[in-house]
Chain A
Amino acid sequence: MVNYSQPQPDLDRVFATLADPTRRAILAQLAQVESLSVSALAEPFAIKLPAVMKHLDVLGAAGLITRNKRGRTVDVRLSARPLRGASEWLRDYERFWSPALDRLVAHAERKEAELRAVKRRRKPR
C-alpha cells in the first residue's frame, strides 16, 4: 500500500539528479569502492575536471555523495540513504499498480475471448 502520510523529503531532487547518465555513472563507480579521490573519479570520463566537479556539486546537493577534504585531495563517498528513499517510492507505487494491471490484462483478454465466441456463433454456415 502506498503510504501517503510519510513525508519523503528531497525525493524530487534525487530523481532529477539521477536523470543524468554521467551522474549515474559516477554513482555506479562509487558503489564499488569505499571512497575515491575526485581525480580518480574523473579519470574514466571524457569530460574535464570542472565538469565533473559540477556533477559532484549536484550529487552533493541531493545528498547522494559526501566529500571529505584530506590534505590536498578530496575523498568522495556514496551516501545510499536518499537512493533508498527514491527506490522505495517506486517500489510502493509498483506494488500498487502492477497487480492491478495484471488484473486489467486478465479482464480485457476475457472480454476479447467472449467477443470472439459471440462472433463465431453469429457467423452464418
Chain B
Amino acid sequence: MKEIRPVKEKVLTVSELTARIKKLLQARFFSIAVAGEVSNLRRPASGHIYFTLKDADSQIPAVCFREEARRLGVELKDGLEVTARGRITVYSPRGSYQLVVSEMEMRGAGSLQLALAKLKARLAAEGLFDPGRKKPLPPLPSRVGVVTSSSGAALRDILQVIGRRFGSIGVVINPVPVQGAAAAAEIVRAMEEFNRWKNVEVIIVGRGGGSAEDLQPFNEETVARAIAASEIPVISAVGHETDWTLADLAADLRAPTPSAAAELVIAEKRELLLRLERLERRLGLALNYLLGNLRGRVERALRSATLHDPRRLLWRSRQQLDELAGRLNRIPAVRIGFARQKLGDLNSRLRRRAATRLSFARQRAEALRLRLEAVNPEAVLGRGYSFTRRLSDGRIVTAASMLEIGETVRVRLKQGEFDSTVSRIFPAGGARRKKTEI
C-alpha cells in the first residue's frame, strides 16, 4: 500500500505553536466578562489573588493582581457567584491560559436574599425574635450606651436629641465601624462590653442609611444573637425606614431612625417633667381660687342686709381673711411657688423657640453642605472615573461620535493625566468598551 503523505507539512516548534495560540487567544479575548463560581481562593503575601472560576462543566484559572485587587468591590469567598471582567493571557512556560481579572461584581443577589431569608427563619424558629423576650425600657435611665460610628450622622442625630439639653441624660459612646468586614465582630464586642460593665441602663445600636451591602453587618447572625442576648434593653436604629434587619428584629425596641431611638429613651423623663410642671401650676391655681372664693363669700355676706351682730362678726372674719392673705404672701414658699410657675412657663416657651430656630438653621446648613458635596468633581474622580478631552479643541468628550480614529485625546485622572490615540470607535449601543492604545 502506498503511503499518502500531504504535499506540504508545516512542522511547528512548541514555542511557535504556543506563540500563535497566545497571539490568538490574547487578541480574541482581550476584554471579556465571565460568569462563574469562585473556588480555590488563595491570597499569598504578595497581595495578588489567585482563584479558579468554574461552572458545572469547566473551569479556568484566574488571577487578580494586587493593584486591581485592592480596588475590587467584592469580598471574595469560595462559593461566591460572580461576573469577572478582564482578559485571557497565556503563560507560555507552562502552556496554560488564565483569566486576568480587572473588575468583579456579585451575581445572584437573589441567592443572597435567599440566604438571608433562611437565616431569618432559622433564628425566628429558635424564638430569638419573640415578643415575649423583649424587655421594657427603663423609666428613668441615667446613662444610655450608644454603639455606632463615632463620625457618622447617626451619632450626631442622637446627640442632638439627648445632648446636654433640658431632660438630658448621660451618654457613653462605644465607637464601632458600621459597615465592612470588621463591623459585625466589633458590634458584637461592644454589646458584650456594655453587658459586662453594666455602666448604662439602655443601649442604642445603629447607623445611618445605606445600601443593602452597607447594612450587611446588621444582618449577621452574630450581631442578631448578641443583641438578643443582651441583658440591658436594646433599641435598634438602623437608618432604613421600611426594611427591618435581623438586628431590628432581635432588639427589644426598633426605631426607624437614630433620632427616634433617642426620643424613645428620654420620652419617659420628658413626660414626667411635663407632668410635674402641670402639677405645680394646678397647685398654684387651686390656692388662688380658694382664696378668691373665700374672699368673695365674705364680701357677699357683708353686702346682704343683716343684723348688727352678724355684720360685726363678718367684718371680723373679713379682717381675719385679709390678715391670712397677708401672712400667706409673706410665706416665702408661696411667693416662690408663684414666681416659679411663671418662670417655668416663660422658660419652656423660650426653650422651644430657641430649639426650633437652632435646628432649623442646622438643617439648612446641612442641606447646603450635602448639595455642595454632590457636585464636587473631585469626589467623582476619586472613585475611578476620568474625563477625556479632545486635544483639537479641548472639549470634553461625552460621546464616541465626537472622535475620529487617529485623534489624540487627553485623559484626566484624579492624579495626573495621559494622552491617548483613538484606535477604534464603538458608537453607543454597540459593544461596551472603547479601546485605546496606551
Answer yes or no: do A and B interact.
no
B-to-A contact residues, CB < 8 Å: none
